[in-house]
Structures are given as C-alpha cells and as structure tokens.
C-alpha cells in the first residue's frame, strides 16, 4: 500500500513545519542555557527525578489533575482534549500495528488509516478497535463541546472571565475546534460508502447512506478528507506560534523543573520554557484584584506572558502588578509568574549607577549589643507602634538586642529589586549583609515580610537564622519566656500579608500567636487564597485612589468577620488597611505587647 493521497499534503506540510519549528526552538533555548543550568541538568538527568518528572507529565500534561482540583468540569474539558487526543494517537497506532504488523507506515497512514483501509469485509476485521476509536473520538468531542460552551458561559466552569485571544490564537483555536468534528464527518461518510465503523461512525454512516444519495456521498467523500487534513495542517502550522505551543513545551519544562532549574533575577534562556508553557487558559485572571476591583483587563499574567513571548511587552503592563502571587498560586502549569515579571522589569529598567550608592560605605547607625538582631525595616519605622511593641516584647523576654536600624537604615533592597533595579538592590544587599555579619548576631528578627523575604532568598546569611517577628514571638511563647493574658472577649481577624503567606509560607505562626491572646475569626479569603492589601511596593502603576479601592474591599471582608480588631503582620498592610476601615488595625506585636503579663 502506498499510503499517499493528495489530500494528505496539508497535513504533511503542517506536521513537518510544526516539527521543525518546535525542535529548532527547543534546541536554541537549550543551547543558550547558562552553564550553571547545564550542570543542573547533567546532575539530575540520571536520578529518580527523571522518573518523577515522567509521572508528573502523565498527571498534569495528560490528566490535568491540578485543573480538576479547581473545577471538575474545567478539568474534564482539558483532560478530554489532551488525554483523549493522546489515546487516539496511541490506539490508532496500535490499530495499524494489529492490521499491518511491523510493516512501516508513514505518519499520514496512521492518521488517515480509515481512508486508506476502509475496514469492512477485509480479512481479520477487528470491530473492537473501531469501537474503541469511536469511544475516544466521542470523548474528545465532548471536550470540544465544553470548550465551545466555555466561550459562551465560562461561569459553568468556575471562570468569571476568560482570556481575550489574539488573531493567531483564534486561527489555531478555530482549526482545533474543527479538527474533530471534521474527522467524525470524514470517517462517517467513509463508513456510509464502504460500511464498517464502530458504534459512532458506523451508525452515523448507516444513517447517512439511508438518507443521502450515494452520488452525493461520493462527491463529499474526498472534500471531507481534504477539510480534515487542512484543519490539522492549519492547526499544526499555527501551533508553534500560538498558545498551543504549551502542549509540547510543558513536557521539557517539567523535566527541567525536576532538575531544579528556576527563573532568576535576570532573564535567561530557561524563561522561554516557562513562557511558552503558558496555555493562556486564563485561570489567572479571576484571582487578580486589579481585575476584580479596578477593572484593569490587560495586565494579568496571561497577557504579560503573551506580550513578553511576542516581544511586545510594554513597561506599563509589566509594572502594573501587585506581585501578590494570587495568580501564581492557581496557575495549573506552576509557572513562576512573579519572578518572570520581576526579571522582565529588570531587563527594561535596570540602569546601574555605579556612583550612586558610594555613600553607603562605612555607615553604621546600629545600636546596642546582643546575639539577636532586630531589623525594623523602613515601613516599620513609619509605623512606630510596631517598633515600640517589639521593644516591650524584647524587654519582657529579657532579650539582649542589637538594633540594626533604629536610627535609620539602608533599605533591604527588595523594593528596588521588584521594580527592576536588581543591580542597585544588590548594593544594598551587600551593605546590609556585611553589617549583619560584622555585629556577630545569630538570629535576625524583622517585622517586615518584605525584608524577611529578601533576607531569606537573596542574602545567603551563613550562621544567622532569619525570623519574622511572628515566628520569633511564637517561639518566645512556646519557650515560656513570654507570658500573655488570654481573653475570650477579644475577637481578632487576621490578614495574611502576601510576602509572608504565599511569599514565605508563614501562615500558622501568626495565627497561633493571636489564639494565645484571644479568639481568631477567619475572613472569607485566607491563607494561600488571601487577598492583597493593594499597597504592594511591587506596583508602581496604580494610583492612591486605586490602592484605596482595593484596601476598602479587603477591609470589608475583614470587618464582615465581626471581629473588633484587624490584625496583620506587615507594616505596609497595616497602613493600607487602616486607610480603608474604621476598625482598629494592629500589628501582631501590638496585641502581644498589650496583653503581656
């Protein structure tokens, strides 16, 4: 058998172009990886991590477990398309194998098997395959139906908003939508003419042959296969340049991620794998408070990644993000959205000024002596109630403290890093690091989650344990060094600061501290799902009125708990929420200091 017909050309051309583009892309990205990343791959490739990557690929790329956990219908839709199509290919290949043995069959022979081998009356007909293939086709078609439905009523799948697609995506999307219905029609007409087929194509074929003239069917036969092949061809050509590139890219991404490759403060070739693994599913849109509170519709991670991928990223899009991490928490692909945003900003803005921070050299405004160092951070210096509460707590615990910045300090560096000035930030990091090391402390306590995060992630402080004051206070309570009075009359609610919760994984410690002094009432969104106060230092684009709108919505939710006092553990959140509420807003340290025994 030759396994060639003219109508195969669109498919063959499309598949070849797709294959070439994908291979070229991956090859060039891998080749440009920095040596350190290459070493990580070499170290990881022959370890069990490769196997666990394979397992994750099955779970996520095929079964879409994470989306299932979010919404069952949405999960089913993604799974039926991905896993269904995958099975169609695998079972189709087994089918040819079972009929033709080990004879070499070109790709189009597998894909258009029903065309080349109309299966009826031929020797050894295997109706089981017909039925399995039909069942799989139905499975995929159910996903396509849901995808159509999602365009009309996305709320059925738990999504308030879906992505606004660009032209190329629309072409690919339309082609994809047509692939499977056209396949159904082409195969059914073939069955109508030649007989055979499973419960789906076979029955539709019988129906068609009963109601439509044989001449008409014959006239439709070739064009239908042409259309099916063309839909596939168009989809394949569009795929590497559209959102569907994620279908393949998630696979190398999962491997690389298991080999511990991560995006960093500066852009690198690895970022491409993350960026092109974005399917633009739009799950990141709903959690975005810029969307829900301010109606800003073009800055969300899906649009940011798209713009970055096509080299059309504008600063105003890159800068307009709270970096609260709510989108990152729900991203089904697990893309490091905040880091990518931050390193984009660095690419666009980083203009190191060598002389600008020379004055830092030799400055030391610190006071006191002790193994425990306290770094208030600039925002805590602007909320002196927190500072004085910490002072009382240290005194009550009998802790000798080295005060790093009571008399003023150099910024921790994170605000500059987030705004894209990584090199300037590094100067501050170097300065503070040498200051901490000079004073020989073993523990560094800070009240500011923004500082905490940069201390932990970028400072590399050897021999110094970095603690947020919530962790430190809890430790004092557990060790019995601090005694507080409990009152069931006092009801508190707690706002999770983004940098502390999602950013540093500290959810339980502040809650335990609150429960030591009174009753804790949880707001609707809490922990990993908590809202951002709106005043994030990461956003330099929105104005104060917009920050206030977000703060009010957050305050409303906190007030709705019925608690008298709103507690948070970040000076910036405290200031932000206080603007949006009439309730009293306290830092965690304040309620502890107030209830000291």
Partner 1 sequence: MKHIVIIGGGIAGMQCAVELSSLGISATVIEKEHATGGKLASWHRLFPSFTPAEDVLGELRLKFAKAANISLRCGVTATEITPRKVTLSTGDELECDAVVLATGFTLFDARIKEEYGYGIYDNVVTSADLEDMFNRGEIVLKNGNKPRRIALLHCVGSRDEKVCQRHCSKVCCVTGVKQAIELKEMFPTADVFNFYMDIRMFGPGYEEMYREAQVKHNVHFVRGRISEVSPTIDGRLQLKAEDTLTGRPLKMSVDMLVLLVGMRANEENAELAARYGLQCQESGFMKPQDNFMHNVESNVEGIFYAGTITSPKSVGETLNEATTVALRIKDWLQKQ
Q: Which residues bind partner 1 (CB under 8 A)?
A: 381-385, 387-388, 406, 408, 543-545, 548, 575, 578-579
Q: Which is nearer to partner 1, 389 or 520 (CB)?
A: 389
Round to whole Å and give the CA distance between 294 and 119: 59
CA dihedral 161, 166, 169, 175 (to 10 degrees): 100
Q: Which is nearer to partner 1, 528 or 552 (CB)?
A: 552
Please, what is the minimum distance in Å from the beta carbon of residue 388 to partner 1?
7
Q: Which is nearer to partner 1, 330 or 382 (CB)?
A: 382
Q: Which is nearer to partner 1, 162 or 385 (CB)?
A: 385
320 burial type by CB count under 10 A (0-12 exposed, 13-18 middle, 19+ buried): buried
Distances (CA, A) of 558 to 488, 508, 522, 552: 19, 18, 8, 10
CB 447 within 8 A of CB 471: no
Please, what is the minimum distance in Å from the beta carbon of residue 381 to partner 1?
6
Round to whole Å and give the CA distance between 180 and 232: 9
Please, what is the minimum distance in Å from the beta carbon of residue 562 to partner 1?
22
Q: Which is nearer to partner 1, 96 or 380 (CB)?
A: 380
Q: Which is nearer to partner 1, 73 or 548 (CB)?
A: 548
Q: CB neighbours of 585 closer than 8 A, spacing ≥ 6? A: 565, 566, 567, 568, 574, 577, 578
Tell me the Cα Rg of the chain. 30
Q: Which is nearer to partner 1, 75 or 497 (CB)?
A: 497
Tokens of 142: 């159910």
Round to whole Å and give the CA distance between 401 and 104: 77
Please, what is the minimum distance in Å from the beta carbon of residue 365 to partner 1?
10
Please, what is the minimum distance in Å from the beta carbon of residue 384 to partner 1?
6
Is the C-alpha dihedral spanning 547, 548, 551, 552 positive or negative? negative
Distances (CA, A) of 577 to 285, 335, 376, 528: 23, 30, 20, 19
Q: Which is nearer to partner 1, 251 or 379 (CB)?
A: 379
Q: Which is nearer to partner 1, 267 or 447 (CB)?
A: 447
According to DSSP, residue 518 is labeled: S
Q: Which is nearer to partner 1, 548 or 596 (CB)?
A: 548
Q: Which is nearer to partner 1, 70 or 579 (CB)?
A: 579
Closest by CA position to 350, among listed 265, 409, 410: 265
Is residue 375 within a helix (H) or strand (E), and if so which, with residue range?
A: strand 372-375
Please, what is the minimum distance in Å from the beta carbon of residue 419 to partner 1?
18
CB 303 within 8 A of CB 243: no
By DSSP bridging, strand 443-446 and strand 372-375 are parallel
CB 396 within 8 A of CB 482: yes
Closest by CA position to 82, among listed 140, 157, 24, 145: 140
Please, what is the minimum distance in Å from the beta carbon of residue 385 to partner 1?
6
Q: CB neighbours of 148 closer than 8 A, spacing ≥ 6? A: 177
Please, what is the minimum distance in Å from the beta carbon of residue 580 to partner 1?
10
Distances (CA, A) of 76 to 65, 144, 146, 150: 9, 11, 9, 12
Q: Which is nearer to partner 1, 155 or 582 (CB)?
A: 582
Please, what is the minimum distance in Å from the beta carbon of residue 36 to partner 1?
41
Please, what is the minimum distance in Å from the beta carbon of residue 582 to partner 1?
9
Round to whole Å and give the CA distance between 157 and 176: 20
Please, what is the minimum distance in Å from the beta carbon of residue 294 to partner 1?
15
């Amino acid at each position: 058998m030759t396994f060639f017909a003219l109508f195969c050309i669109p498919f063959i051309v499309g598949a070849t172009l797709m294959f070439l583009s994908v291979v070229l892309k991956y090859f060039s990205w891998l080749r440009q990886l920095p040596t350190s990343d290459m070493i990580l791959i070499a170290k990881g490739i022959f370890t069990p991590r490769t196997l666990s990557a394979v397992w994750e690929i099955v779970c996520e790329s095929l079964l879409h477990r994470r989306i299932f956990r979010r919404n069952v219908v949405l999960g089913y839709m993604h799974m039926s398309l991905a896993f269904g199509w995958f099975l169609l290919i695998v079972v189709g290949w087994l089918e040819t194998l079972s009929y033709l043995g080990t004879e070499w069959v070109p790709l189009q022979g597998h894909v258009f098997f029903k065309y080349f081998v109309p299966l009826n009356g031929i020797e050894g007909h295997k109706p089981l395959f017909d039925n399995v293939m039909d069942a799989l086709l139905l499975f995929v078609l159910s996903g396509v139906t849901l995808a159509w439905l999602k365009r009309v009523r996305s709320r059925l799948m738990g999504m308030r908003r879906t992505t606004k697609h660009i032209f190329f995506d629309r072409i690919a999307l339309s082609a994809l939508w047509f692939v499977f219905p056209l396949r159904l029609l082409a195969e059914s007409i073939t069955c109508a003419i030649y007989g055979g087929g499973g419960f789906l194509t076979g029955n539709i074929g019988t129906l068609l042959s009963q109601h439509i003239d044989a001449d008409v069917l014959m006239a439709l036969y070739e064009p239908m296969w042409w259309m099916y092949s063309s839909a596939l061809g168009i989809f394949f050509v569009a795929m590497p340049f559209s959102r569907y590139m994620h279908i393949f890219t998630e696979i190398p991404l999962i491997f690389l991620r298991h080999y511990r490759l991560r995006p960093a403060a500066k852009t690198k070739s690895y970022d491409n794998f993350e960026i092109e693994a974005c399917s633009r599913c739009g799950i990141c849109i709903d959690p975005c408070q810029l969307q829900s509170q301010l109606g800003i519709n073009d800055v969300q991670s899906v649009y940011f990644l798209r713009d970055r991928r096509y080299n059309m990223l504008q600063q105003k899009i890159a800068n307009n993000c709270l970096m609260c991490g709510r989108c990152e928490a729900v991203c089904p692909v697990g893309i490091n959205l905040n880091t990518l945003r931050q390193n984009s900003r660095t690419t666009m803005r980083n203009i190191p000024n060598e002389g600008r921070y020379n004055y830092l050299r030799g400055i030391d405004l610190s006071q006191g002596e002790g193994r425990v160092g306290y770094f208030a951070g600039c925002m805590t210096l602007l909320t002196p109630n927190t500072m004085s509460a910490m002072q009382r707590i240290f005194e009550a615990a009998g802790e000798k403290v080295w005060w790093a910045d009571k008399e003023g300090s150099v910024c921790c560096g994170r605000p500059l890093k987030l705004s894209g000035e990584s090199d300037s930030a590094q100067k501050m990091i170097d300065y503070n690091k040498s200051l901490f090391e000079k004073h020989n402390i073993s523990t560094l306590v800070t009240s500011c989650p923004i500082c905490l995060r940069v201390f932990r992630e970028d400072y590399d402080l050897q021999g110094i344990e970095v603690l947020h004051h919530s962790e430190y206070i809890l430790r004092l309570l557990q060790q019995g060094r601090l005694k507080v009075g409990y009152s069931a009359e006092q009801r508190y609610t707690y706002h999770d600061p983004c940098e502390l919760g999602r950013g540093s994984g500290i959810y339980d410690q502040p809650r335990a501290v609150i429960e030591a002094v009174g009753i804790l009432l949880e707001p609707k969104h809490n922990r990993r799902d908590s809202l951002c106060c709106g005043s994030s230092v990461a956003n330099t684009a929105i104005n104060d009125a917009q920050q206030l709108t977000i703060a009010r919505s957050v305050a409303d939710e906190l007030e709705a708990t019925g608690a008298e006092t709103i507690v948070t553990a970040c000076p910036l959140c405290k200031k932000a929420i206080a603007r949006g509420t009439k309730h009293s807003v306290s830092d965690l340290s304040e309620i502890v200091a107030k209830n000291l025994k």
